């Protein structure tokens, strides 16, 4: 489980703008501007008036003291801070809480491979696995979908994961699905057909996919079960 540092502050979303900023009305009536780490479109998440949680930084050098952490939609908290999934998966693998990765004894973050830098490298005495982590906030009906905007960077990561498999290593995409009400995971073909095609090709060439349903609260986030995948 990933635990937030300090207590989160509750408010209501007013608007998102300039990609990295959101205005929020706090429960005490004050209006503050918070940093949005998510560079995607946040399609299906930008609901004015919806409850949100912010964290507050004590760093005086920051231009915005608040960071947008989550939003309450369809009866669940949806995590939008893209730095949380990496920390969550890293800790879960180190603590041997995730069945697909139980065999690995060593975990390193931000390791260079070719022209990319993967989120994690897992190792044991016999093999190693390269892992890339993505946050999933977009939902339509029973499907959690990725990406919510075209992503050339995402396709590059898939190409590098294929190269890792060709070189004799294992490779995996971990999708942290922040929509616990979803029943399936699928690529968002209507948004980025090239990514959908590349993901399907990557799987056919040995890249593993693990979409973990994730639950967020005011205290933190935890990974739950794996969703079925439809490519």
Q: Is residue 231 part of a domain?
A: no
Residues paired with 139 in a beta bridge: 144
Claim to verify: residue 88 and residue 190 sit in the same structural domain: yes
Q: Is residue 154 part of a domain?
A: yes
Claim to verify: residue 171 and residue 185 sit in the same structural domain: yes
Q: Of 103, 100, 180, 188, give the one whose Cα is nearest residue 151.
A: 188
Q: Is residue 30 part of a domain?
A: yes
Of the three residues 79, 95, 120, the one that is the final residue of a domain is 79
Asked whether residue 230 carries a pLDDT value surpassing 80, the answer given is yes
Which structural domain, as residue segments, surrounds residue 40?
2-79
C-beta of residue 87 within 8 angstroms of C-beta of residue 119:
no
What sign does the CA torsion over 206, 182, 192, 134 have?
Answer: negative
Asked whether residue 11 carries a pLDDT value surpassing 90, the answer given is yes
Q: Of 145, 131, 97, give the one whose Cα is nearest residue 210.
A: 131
Return the pLDDT at 74. 92
pLDDT tens digits along 143-179 = 999 999 999 999 999 999 999 999 999 999 999 999 9
pTM above 0.85, yes or no: yes
Claim to verify: residue 48 and residue 145 sit in the same structural domain: no
């Amino acid at each position: 489980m990933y635990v937030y540092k300090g207590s989160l502050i509750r408010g209501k979303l007013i608007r998102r703008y300039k990609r990295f900023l959101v205005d929020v009305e706090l429960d005490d009536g004050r209006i503050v501007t918070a940093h949005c780490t998510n560079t995607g479109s946040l399609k299906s998440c930008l609901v004015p008036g919806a409850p949100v949680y912010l964290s507050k930084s004590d760093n005086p050098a920051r231009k915005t003291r608040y960071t947008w952490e989550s939003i309450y939609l369809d009866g669940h908290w949806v995590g939008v801070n893209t730095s949380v999934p990496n920390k969550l998966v890293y800790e879960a693998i180190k603590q041997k809480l995730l069945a697909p990765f139980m065999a690995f004894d060593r975990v390193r973050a931000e390791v260079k491979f070719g022209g990319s830098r993967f989120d994690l490298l897992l190792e044991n005495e016999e093999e190693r696995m390269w892992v890339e982590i993505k946050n999933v906030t977009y939902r339509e009906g029973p499907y959690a979908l990725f990406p919510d905007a075209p992503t050339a960077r995402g396709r590059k990561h898939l190409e590098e994961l294929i190269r890792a498999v060709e070189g004799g290593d294992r490779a995996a995409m971990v999708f942290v699905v922040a929509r616990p009400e979803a029943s399936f995971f699928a690529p968002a073909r209507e948004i980025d057909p090239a990514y959908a095609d590349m993901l399907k090709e990557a799987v056919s060439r040995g890249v593993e996919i693990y979409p973990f349903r994730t639950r967020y609260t005011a205290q933190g986030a935890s990974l739950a079960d794996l969703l079925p995948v439809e490519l």
